[in-house]
Structure 1
């Protein structure tokens, strides 16, 4: 039986510190906090853009409902505001996945942060033995309350557009008869 002789390849061994991505629990906590801050700012930007678009759509809806042109005003105020209400519903449905995705990611990083704070007693307490983060900040219930506005906004606007669209159709059809 023949053997293939090769040179020994020197593979450097990893030390215990190199095995972990983060050097210390403080580095890990800082990373989690940065990720939470980044995702929260993305959610805030999405909410601002959504609210801006919705406010312009509400203004356009109100302006189109105020059309008093005797020749084509009735048909215009029946079709255009209804289409804007449909656009409002569709944009709300399309905005929801982005809001939900941000919420899931923020939830993930808060979960990891709370486990780090609970698993490492040094990280959970400051130098004077008082908690660095109180239970409200690190609990699931605490930060979820701050995300409620962004999470509910698309649903509230969708309901708002459904009511306005129905109102628009009812008013125009009752005026036509």
Structure 2
């Protein structure tokens, strides 16, 4: 049974929740292992989403370049005016559709890293497994470290959307500005 914990929740209910949580996680190490597995799982999801997005974008770029190189004298001019513009629009729409899934995975990873860092701060002995040097240093569990590693995935849809806007505008410009050739 799930419970909603609010500021008005009585202390006895919170103690029950803490006891229930202790039963789920036998020790702080079990909790840390759980957080690490969740981070790894969500990172894999983010990588898969980014890979699928980049694959789709690469095919769109190839199709766009092929359409722009059409030299058919009968219908090539109209084709190179219409089809690349639609491909650029498709690239923009796919970027806008990819963004929420990528951002959601990033937010979930951020959540689990936060939980992990709170656990490591609340249980300083956890890092001291075999010697006096901590197992997890601040750079390994800080927001700054992992966020930098996820920036590529988070920025890619916006970069491709800008790329498609510029490329679509350029394709229209060279076709409309130079109608005789």
User: Root-mean-square deviation (CA), in Å?
Assistant: 1.4
Q: Deviations over 1:65-88 (max 9, x none)?
A: 000011111110000000000000
Equivalent position SS for 2:71: coil
Residues in 2 aligned to 1:104 and 1:166: alpha-carbon distance in whole angstroms: 33
TM (norm. structure 1) is 0.89
Q: Deviations over 1:45-74 (max 9, x none)?
A: 000000000000000000000000111111
Is residue 17–residue 23 contact of structure 1 (8 Å, CA) maintained in 2? no
Tell me what 1:105 maps to: 108
1:61-72 equivalences under 5 Å are 61-72=64-75
Change (3 A) 1:19 1:165: closer
Residues in 1 aligned to 2:92 and 2:62: alpha-carbon distance in whole angstroms: 16
- Determine which of 152, 175, 181 is the counterpart of 1:149: 152
- Determine which of 93, 96, 108 is the counterpart of 1:93: 96
Q: Deviations over 1:17-72 (max 9, x none)?
A: 65522000000000000000000000000000000000000000000000001111
1:10-49 equivalences under 5 Å are 20=22, 21-49=24-52
Tell me what 1:9 maps to: none
1:51-62 equivalences under 5 Å are 51-62=54-65
Is residue 47–residue 150 contact of structure 1 (8 Å, CA) maintained in 2? yes
Deviation >6 Å, runs of 4+: none
- How far the C-alpha of 1:145 sits from its partner, in A, is 0.4
- How far the C-alpha of 1:157 sits from its partner, in A, is 0.3
Residues in 2 aligned to 1:167 and 1:19: alpha-carbon distance in whole angstroms: 58
Is residue 67–residue 77 contact of structure 1 (8 Å, CA) maintained in 2? yes
Change (3 A) 1:72 1:19: closer
Residues in 1 aligned to 2:132 and 2:108: alpha-carbon distance in whole angstroms: 31
Tell me what 1:81 maps to: 84
Gaps of 5+ in 2: 1-15
User: Which structure would you say has the larger Rg?
Assistant: 1
- Determine which of 136, 139, 142 is the counterpart of 2:139: 136
- How far the C-alpha of 1:122 sits from its partner, in A, is 1.5
Tell me what 2:129 maps to: 126
TM (norm. structure 2) is 0.87
